[in-house]
Amino acid sequence: MARDPRYDILFEPVKIGPVTARNRFFQVPHCTGMGSNWPRTHAEMRGQKAQGGWAVVCTEETMIHPSSDALPASSMRLWDDDDIPAFAAAADKVHEHGGLFGIELVHGGFSRSNRTSRMAPLAPSATPNKYPMRPQARAMDLHDIAELRRWHRAAAIRAKQAGADLVYVYAAHNIALPMHFLLPRYNRRNDSYGGRLENRVRLIRELIEDTKDAVGDTVAVALRFAVDERMGEAGLEWQKEGREVVAMLAELPDLWDVNVSGWEHDSKTSRFAQEGYQEDAVSFVKKLTSKPVVVVGRYTSPDAMVRVIRSGIADFIGAARPSIADPFLPRKIEEGRIEDIRECIGCNICISGNNTFVPMRCTQNPTMGEEWRRGWHPEELPARGSDARVLVIGAGPAGLEAARALGARGYDVTLADRARQPGGRVTQEAALPGLAAWARVRDWRLGQIAGMANVAMFMESAMSDRDVLGFGAPHVVLATGATWRRDGIGHANSKTIQGAGRSHVVGPEDVMAGRVTQGPVLIFDDDHGYMAGVLAEKLAAQGLAVTLVTPAAMVSEFTVLTLEQGFIQKRLLEMGVAIRQQRNLAAIEADHVELACIYTGKREQAAAATVVLVTARVSNDQLYHQLARRPDLMEAAGMKSLGVIGDCLSPQTIAAAVYDGHAYARELDAAEPDNPDVPYRREHMMPAPPARQQQGTT
């Protein structure tokens, strides 16, 4: 298909200092959980972005010195020449597909605890470390500042040697020394690097000048700058010093990459922010500089992208999460395949991977993180391995992805589900407050399946074991999901909670179906994900009195990893939800519950006309066991395999369910791996060059 001419502007080349980007799609620096620990994994992932049409593809934070040691986090390191090969591998992959490669140089200052280097963290003024119980940061003297500039310059030279086309100076997210020098609450100096704004900006200016001098006239220098901290007068504001900084440095960098700080604001989830949510703070920058500007805002709509360019907000559409969900987003727009874009749902499961120090994963894109170790490509699937038909039972996230990927491979697929609507838990959860974007998981797959003549879908089609055996499909895979427990068994309780069988005790499905109307409502959260918090929000919006009880120290504890825990707890408090933390649910009575302190066991009562248990889930795997225990009947019916995926296999995240469905579809009829105990390639550190190895001691 031909590209829609409305989007031609997105494919105009843009000059960035001495280099030229082939279009306006810019994958801004973003963490991956890969870093220097998984250099081949990182290189293959970045290369696929360039293949997908991103004109500029950047690394994540790249630490420049052991005094900025992020381990065990998997950030990249460019401490010495031994680190160059890891970056060269990624640069080669990006250049192979015509992209520009950018490296974001960072010194984390007091936001780094230096656990492995054991060096004292650095700060403009003596201050506690960002993380409690870690070494306090010492105040830098002028010698320290000169050393920082030297380290940064050396890292810039190494970046150029590795093949970088663009090198960053980083002053964003409140995790970098240049930003710490800028902010008065951290900078209490009275010398030429403190006090008035010109002095506090001095280090940023010097680092830009040093970097430009180091890389010469063939590599561009970018400044990533957070113009606003979303803290009001307590922090940097774009209308005040944020604007003044841009005006001071307007023509110095070759490119401005602007956003808001901290990371939880910059990568806000769709539950709390819509597409383009940063525009109020960043739209002024282009008016103050002639240099190209890149902005972010979880843009997935080509029409919104065109608006951003035509309205003069920016020259580039920056993206982290949308480029993860669909590395081929630019190419799909260019080829007139808008309906094929796999839109980011803004759930931040990608960030949770990075925050747990493993290669990231994506709810929408199950190939993310598997590009090198499994050889998976987001747009390419192997041809079918046989002419066998496949029956997929369950049209939730796992079943939909399995049917889609199997259909793309060329298999004849039948997808059956007992429900009236497809989507399973996705359809239920997307109706909850703020989660509407999650429906994209269902809708994209339904859209892809709709164009496949070899995939047939039947709703309101419950299947028994006899139905399955009589269907005659050689391959059957069950994706029948899971159900929330009603007995209270979970992390804190290994036995049924006393009174859990009472008529006023319900589960999340009842709340989602609108069957909870009697208050006061007590929600017991022993799941610690997003569910209890969003149910509390829904019920409070109905006008019910809600108390949320959790054994954890905070509401929705897991969502610390998705950067939204603070927003969730703030919203619940503003809505009047009563929160009882570090309390277990000991017993449920007719009109109240007994709560117990998790430390002392001391009891207290709380009124409850309805009790909602959000604890654990049970797999709906009865059909699987009915079939699996009769292999003789399966053989007689011509069944060659019986699979189980998604929540039916093990209750998990939506991202994990989609991954399960995709893995099943890819691996059907595939050859056995060389080592079935380790079904993917293991990443090993790249060895140091021989010359460097010889310098070691024995």
pLDDT tens readout for residues 577-628:
999 999 999 999 999 999 999 999 999 999 999 999 999 999 999 999 999 9
Task: Provide the pLDDT confidence category of residue 189 given band limits of 50, 70 and 90.
Answer: very high
First to last CA, the chain: 63
Burial class (CB in 10 A: 0-12, 13-18, 19+), 690: exposed
Is 266 catalytic? The answer is yes
Tell me the mean pLDDT in the region 49-67.
97
pTM score, two decimals?
0.94
Task: Provide the pLDDT confidence category of residue 314 given band limits of 50, 70 and 90.
Answer: very high
Which 3-state string (H, E, C) describes 118-135? Answer: CCCCEECCCECCCCCCCC
Task: Indicate whether 506 pLDDT > 80.
Answer: yes
In which element (H, E) is residue 210 found? helix 202-215
Coil/strand/helix, residue 497: coil
Catalytic choice (31, 58, 344, 362): 31
Q: How far apart are CA 151 and CA 165, in angstroms?
A: 19
Task: Indicate whether 51 pLDDT > 50.
Answer: yes
Task: Provide the pLDDT confidence category of residue 689 given band limits of 50, 70 and 90.
Answer: low
pLDDT of residue 323: 98
Do the strands 546-550 and 578-581 form a parallel or antiparallel pair, or are they unpaired?
Answer: parallel
Q: How far apart are CA 363 and CA 353, in angstroms?
A: 11
Tell me the mean pLDDT in the region 541-547.
97
Residue 222 has phi, psi (to 5 degrees) of: -110, 150
658 closest CA partner among 400, 475, 424, 465? 400
pLDDT tens readout for residues 248-281:
999 999 999 999 999 999 999 999 999 999 999 9
What are the structure tokens assigned to 350, written together? Answer: 């990608």
Burial class (CB in 10 A: 0-12, 13-18, 19+), 418: middle
Q: How far apart are CA 456 and CA 450, in angstroms?
A: 9
Q: Is the dihedral of CA 140, 146, 147, 151 positive or negative?
A: positive
DSSP 427: H
- CATH code of domain 5-355: 3.20.20.70
544 closest CA partner among 595, 616, 607? 607
Catalytic choice (168, 170, 277, 411): 170
- DSSP letter string over 659-670? HHHHHHHHHTTP
- DSSP letter string over 272-309? T--TTTTHHHHTTHHHH-SS-EEE-S----HHHHHHHH
Q: How far apart are CA 322 and CA 318, in angstroms?
A: 9
**Partner residues linked to 523 by β-bridges:** 548, 612
CB 263, CB 558: distance < 8 Å: no
Catalytic choice (83, 266, 326, 660): 266
370 closest CA partner among 80, 69, 610, 48? 48
Right CATH for 486-617 from 1.10.230.10, 3.40.50.1010, 3.40.50.2020, 3.50.50.60 = 3.50.50.60
What are the structure tokens assigned to 638, written together? Answer: 């011509």
Task: Indicate whether 694 pLDDT > 50.
Answer: no
Q: Lowest-pLDDT range, 125-134, 301-310, 682-691?
A: 682-691
CB 373, CB 41: distance < 8 Å: yes
pLDDT tens readout for residues 371-413:
999 999 999 999 999 999 999 999 999 999 999 999 999 999 9
Task: Indicate whether 513 pLDDT > 50.
Answer: yes
Identical fold at 390-481+620-667 and 486-617?
no
Helix axes 39-51, 84-96, angle to 10 degrees: 20
pLDDT of residue 698: 36
Is 350 catalytic? The answer is no
Percent of the chain with pLDDT over 70: 97
What are the structure tokens assigned to 36, written together? Answer: 């220097």
Count of CA atoms in the C-beta half-sphere (13 A) of 535: 33
pLDDT of residue 688: 62
pLDDT of residue 73: 81
CB 413, CB 454: distance < 8 Å: yes
What's the mean per-residue pLDDT of the chain?
A: 95
Do the strands 138-139 and 122-123 form a parallel or antiparallel pair, or are they unpaired?
Answer: parallel
Task: Indicate whether 49 pLDDT > 80.
Answer: yes
Q: How far apart are CA 116 and CA 48, in angstroms?
A: 32
Q: How far apart are CA 83 and CA 162, in angstroms?
A: 9
Catalytic choice (30, 65, 173, 662): 173
**Partner residues linked to 621 by β-bridges:** none
Helix axes 84-96, 142-162, angle to 10 degrees: 40
CB 661, CB 479: distance < 8 Å: yes
What are the structure tokens assigned to 137, written together? Answer: 């940061």
Task: Provide the pLDDT confidence category of residue 697 given band limits of 50, 70 and 90.
Answer: very low
Residue 535 has phi, psi (to 5 degrees) of: -65, -40
Q: Lowest-pLDDT range, 83-87, 117-121, 407-411, 673-677?
A: 673-677
DSSP 137: B
Tell me the mean pLDDT in the region 554-558.
96
CB 479, CB 399: distance < 8 Å: yes
Return the CATH class of domain 390-481+620-667. alpha beta
Q: Give 131 or 241, the one with higher predicted confidence.
A: 241
Task: Provide the pLDDT confidence category of residue 114 given band limits of 50, 70 and 90.
Answer: confident
- DSSP letter string over 349-404? HHHHHHHTTS----SS-TTTT-TTTT--BTTB-PPPSSS--EEEE--SHHHHHHHH
Task: Indicate whether 318 pLDDT > 50.
Answer: yes
Torsion of CA 574, 578, 582, 588, to 10 degrees: -150
- Can you say whether residue 312 is alpha, beta or left, with left for phi > 0 and alpha for psi between -120 and 50 degrees? left
pLDDT of residue 681: 87
Is 487 catalytic? The answer is no
Is 475 catalytic? The answer is no
pLDDT of residue 671: 79
- DSSP letter string over 431-461? TSTT-GGGHHHHHHHHHHHHT-TTEEEESS-
Percent of the chain with pLDDT over 90: 89
298 closest CA partner among 7, 30, 50, 42? 30
What are the structure tokens assigned to 257, written together? Answer: 């990459």
Domain boundaries along the sequence of the chain: 5-355, 390-481+620-667, 486-617
